[in-house]
Amino acid sequence: MTRSHLLVAVAAAVLAFPLSALAADADPALDAFRTLCADTGADFPAVVKAAAADGWTDAEVMADDLPGVSVTDKAARSKGKGTDEITLRATRGLRTVKTGDITVSTCTVRGDNSPPGLLDRVQAWLNMAAMSTDKDSGKASYLLTYDGKTRTVLAQADIDAAVGKGGAHLLKFKQDGTSEILDYERFSK
């Protein structure tokens, strides 16, 4: 083997390894969550529009509404078949509090064929520490603000101010074996 052939073979091996490692860590549910829920800030019309544009179809996804929220809009979609199916449920409604009504929007993605390591992938993507984490039960929550470009950690003491200025965003993640639940809740005036 000539030196140039050896260099080509080494370069091909080096390039192939990261690609195969990335393929092994593919997480369609997290990718869907990022696109449909996080990139839209769980804005109900934007979630529904993004799902339609990406080929999601109507589905009957059963789930409880958030306690204390009068839900005015609901949508359920799915994509994929069998164990590769991913489901989406989005809602919008109102919660009445002492200071008036708060709009509550939710966007939840579920998948049942996901690789281990969801909490690590989420932390790497958000690039911030979780508000709460329980790795033993596979759960993590993040409280933040989002202006359409930047996500910023939100202290619990600043929630009321954030709700009045575009919203407080609560992201919750749970992995149990290969099943994932990725939940985005947005509270705004």
Tens of pLDDT along 52-75?
999 999 998 677 788 889 999 999
- Which of 4-8, 109-113, 150-154, 182-186 is the least confident region? 4-8
| Residue 72: closest CA among 55, 57, 86, 91 | 91
Residue 86, strand partner residues: 79, 111
SS3 sequence of 6-72: HHHHHHHHHHHHHHHHHHHCCCHHHHHHHHHHHCCCCCHHHHHHHHHHCCCEECCCCCCCCCCCEEE
- The chain-wide mean pLDDT, for the chain, equals 86
- Summarize pLDDT for 113-158 with one digit per residue, the tens: 999 999 999 999 999 999 999 989 999 999 999 998 999 999 999 9
| Length of the chain, in residues | 189
In the prediction, which pLDDT does 130 show? 95
- Summarize pLDDT for 86-109 with one digit per residue, the tens: 999 999 999 998 888 999 999 999
Q: How confident is the model at residue 23 (pLDDT cuts 50, 70, 90)?
A: very low
Rounded distance between C-alpha atoms, residue 151 and residue 45, angstroms: 21
pTM: 0.84
Share of the chain above pLDDT 70, in %: 86
Q: Where are the domains of the chain?
A: 27-188
In the prediction, which pLDDT does 66 show? 83
What is the rounded (10 degree) CA torsion for 11, 12, 13, 14?
Answer: 50
In the prediction, which pLDDT does 46 show? 97
| 14 pLDDT above the threshold of 60 | no
Residue 155, strand partner residues: none
| 12 pLDDT above the threshold of 80 | no
Rounded distance between C-alpha atoms, residue 59 and residue 77, angstroms: 5
Q: What is the identity of the amino acid at 109?
A: V
| 6 pLDDT above the threshold of 60 | no
Sign of CA dihedral 110, 115, 120, 124: negative
Q: How confident is the model at residue 25 (pLDDT cuts 50, 70, 90)?
A: low
DSSP-based helix, strand, coil % in the chain, nearest 5: 35, 35, 30
